[in-house]
Amino acid sequence: MKKNILIILGHSDKSSFCASIFDIYIEKLSKSNKVRKISLAEIKFDPILHKGYKEAQELEPDLKKVQENILWAEYIIFIYPVWWMNMPAIFKGFCDRVFLPGFAFKYVHGVPIGLLKGKIAEIIITTGGPKIFYKLFSGRIAIKVLKNNILKFCGIKTKKVKIYSNILKGDKKKRLEKIKNNI
């Protein structure tokens, strides 16, 4: 049975290693599923939540479409690089603007309730350095922020986390072929 899969590229560069992974996932998963894609390099939005949550900020048409795609999706794949041991600012701004109260969560008697229950996520990150360095020294912040502080809070369960490290070393084609064979 075909799944509704949404793949989100949280990188601002269309020619990045993350973008190559994004393209591989789209190609491979489209063969047996309904796949939609979002690349932050291709959508237009202000990543700053100017008044925080005290005042609603109108969503740009691209962000309205993102929310529609999130509601449509059963399975959401997030692909992004680790910069300074965390997600890129553009991706964090995207999350701030998309996963809003009333859409992704609400408070009932002061208790947060996730409104996106039943959805499953997969997180794929890339790092320039070795995986052990990332795991030992960062505490996996870039994953924890998305997995626990955003997705879980909104009711989305993360099923898989993949870390592709040392992306600047070795043969890019061989690395991408290995990724393609392990989807």
What is the tens place of the pLDDT at every residue in 60-74? 999 999 999 999 999
- What structural domains does the chain harbor? 4-181 (3.40.50.360)
3-state secondary structure of 107: strand
Q: Which residues of the chain have pLDDT under 70?
A: none
pLDDT at 154: 98
Report how far residue 144's alpha carbon sits from residue 152's, in angstroms, rounded to the nearest whole number. Answer: 10
pLDDT at 171: 82
What is the tens place of the pLDDT at every residue in 5-37? 999 999 999 999 999 999 999 999 999 999 999
